[in-house]
Amino acid sequence: MLGDTIAAISTPHGKGGVALLRVSGPEAIAVTSRVCVTVTDTDNLKNAKNRMAYLCRVYDNGAEVDTGLVTVFRGPRSFTGEDVAEICIHGGILLAQTVLSALFAAGARPAERGEFTRRAFINGKMDLSAAEAMRDLLEATSREQIALSHAGMEGKLSAALQAPYDEMKHLMASLYAAIDFPDEDLGEVSDEELTSTLHKIHGQLSKLADTYRTGHAIAEGIPTVLCGRVNAGKSTLFNRLVGRDAAIVTDVAGTTRDVLSETVNAGRVTLRLHDTAGLRETGDTVEAIGIERTKREMDNAELILFLLDASRTPDEEDRALAKQLQDTVQTKAAVICLLTKTDLGDNADAERLAGEFTHVVRLSGLTGEGVGDLVALIEDLFTDGTLSASDDAIVASARQYAEVRTALGEIESAIAGQEMGYTQDLIGENLENAMSAIGRVDGRTAGDEIVSEIFHNFCVGK
């Protein structure tokens, strides 16, 4: 509840140089005063200057347990918009837990996941898309993800959505004024103006929706499967992309029997990479289970890397898999044919089979030759090179994209309705629905269920 005072350890669990404890709520300063006594100011935080760190003694049940620093951030000029106190102590696991327990005894309650950030959202310190960006920043595994998250926290997406939102608000106000007050000569919206404005809004939303291809590739990642017959070089390439010996590599056919998964960066693109069992007919029960799992991963993939040994003549299993990928997968996943083991020589039949694919890369997982070409191709397939993760407004999550698409669909319905001669009040309903969808992106009209789901994925203490 917002009226509670909450506390949590905001640094990761473990032993370190320092630990930071955060307290927020109407009694934050009073609660902290019962645990921390400033060395130079016996008035003990009541008159502490805002944002100034004070040397203090830290107590638990009357016994001094540490010396640290305490800082007060009075609302609304704080992260949460409430009174906040932060205590910095030495980073012992037991020590941090002891001080946290002392804060609970002094009147605070344990903070829930993301509760500090949720209070910042409720108190208007940030919008929902900025909160999502902060969560993604904490989870970032690449510099592109950091840049994209930082842009979201700065409000670039919210600012880009504000323009079509304001256009719709102005247009809807004009439509309803003319409908509700027909005798007041408020100026009916002409068909030309309505058409022009609706198409302008459509263009703005379409441009934003198109950025999701890049945002998804950077922030959420592309489910990617390495597939091919046994000993095609899948595990060697997997290790090369991961940057360590994550998969066992031997000359024994069928060494990989289960799906191995890692998150790797391919230039700007995040790959949810899966190394899979080689596809072949087998009587081995364990290997057969691995092959079935391979097929399931292929069904869910957005990118399939088909490995074909460039040094040997393709067999029937190679040709059957190539035909399957060409016949059934291309509509739902991008397929890149990788001619592997190029360091061992070239086979003309393998070259011809690879030539049946739109995208072909020659590489050696052992030497790394050609891996850069693969990364460049993946970037080209899944990102827009004109977009900057740090400077442009980019839709970065499936939730945001769904709402932008909903708004876009309502505008398309409004355009179609106007062309069919629908009354302006019906077009106004489409505008209202579109505005609600945009409002759900930044939290203006988001329900409690959506908000709770977003903040539940935060860590405790943030």
pLDDT for 87-120, tens place per residue? 999 999 999 999 999 999 999 999 999 999 999 9
Q: Specify the pLDDT at position 454.
A: 78
Average pLDDT over residues 154-174: 90
Per residue in 231-267, pLDDT (tens digit) is: 888 888 888 888 756 444 444 444 444 568 889 999 9
Average pLDDT over residues 271-296: 62
Share of the chain above pLDDT 70, in %: 87
Cross-strand bridge partners of residue 69: 55, 88
Question: Which of 250 and 221 is assigned the larger pLDDT?
Answer: 221
Q: Nearest-CA neighbor of 264 among 228, 230, 217?
A: 217
Per residue in 34-44, pLDDT (tens digit) is: 999 998 765 67
Q: How many residues does the chain have?
A: 462
Residue 31 has pLDDT above 90, yes or no: yes
Cβ contact 458:113 at 8 Å? yes
Q: Specify the pLDDT at position 248.
A: 42
Average pLDDT over residues 162-173: 89
Per residue in 409-436, pLDDT (tens digit) is: 999 999 998 888 887 778 888 999 999 9
Cβ contact 224:272 at 8 Å? yes
Q: Specify the pLDDT at position 436.
A: 93
| Mean pLDDT score of the chain | 86
Confidence of residue 437 (pLDDT cuts 50, 70, 90): very high
Per residue in 374-395, pLDDT (tens digit) is: 999 999 999 999 999 999 999 9
Q: Specify the pLDDT at position 255.
A: 43
Q: Specify the pLDDT at position 457.
A: 79
Cβ contact 374:363 at 8 Å? yes
Per residue in 135-158, pLDDT (tens digit) is: 999 989 999 999 999 999 999 999
pTM: 0.82
Q: What SS3 string covers the chain?
A: CCCCCEEEECCCCCCEEEEEEEEECCCHHHHHHCCEEECCCCCCCCCCCCCCEEEEEEEECCEEEEEEEEEEECCCCCCCCCCEEEEEEEECHHHHHHHHHHHHHCCCEECCECHHHHHHHHCCCCCHHHHHHHHHHHHCCCHHHHHHHHHHHCCHHHHHHHHHHHHHHHHHHHHHHHHHCCCCCCCCCCHHHHHHHHHHHHHHHHHHHHCHHHHHHHHHCEEEEEECCCCCCHHHHHHHHHCCCCCCCCCCCCCCCCCEEEEEEECCEEEEEEECCCCCCCCCHHHHHHHHHHHHHHHHCCEEEEEEECCCCCCHHHHHHHHHHHHHHCCCCEEEEEEECHHHCCCHHHHHHHCCCCEEEECCCCCCCCHHHHHHHHHHHHCCCCCCCCCCCCCCCHHHHHHHHHHHHHHHHHHHHHHCCCCHHHHHHHHHHHHHHHHHHHCCCCCHHHHHHHHHCCCECC
For 7-16, 198-207, 243-252, which range has the lowest pLDDT when averaged over its residues?
A: 243-252
> In Å, how far from its chain's centre is CA 448?
20
Confidence of residue 180 (pLDDT cuts 50, 70, 90): low
Q: Nearest-CA neighbor of 107 among 26, 11, 37, 20?
A: 26
Residue 236: how many CB atoms within 10 A of its CB?
Answer: 19
CA 75 → CA 294, 306, 341, distances in Å? Answer: 54, 57, 63
For 133-142, 165-174, 215-224, 367-376, which range has the lowest pLDDT when averaged over its residues?
A: 165-174
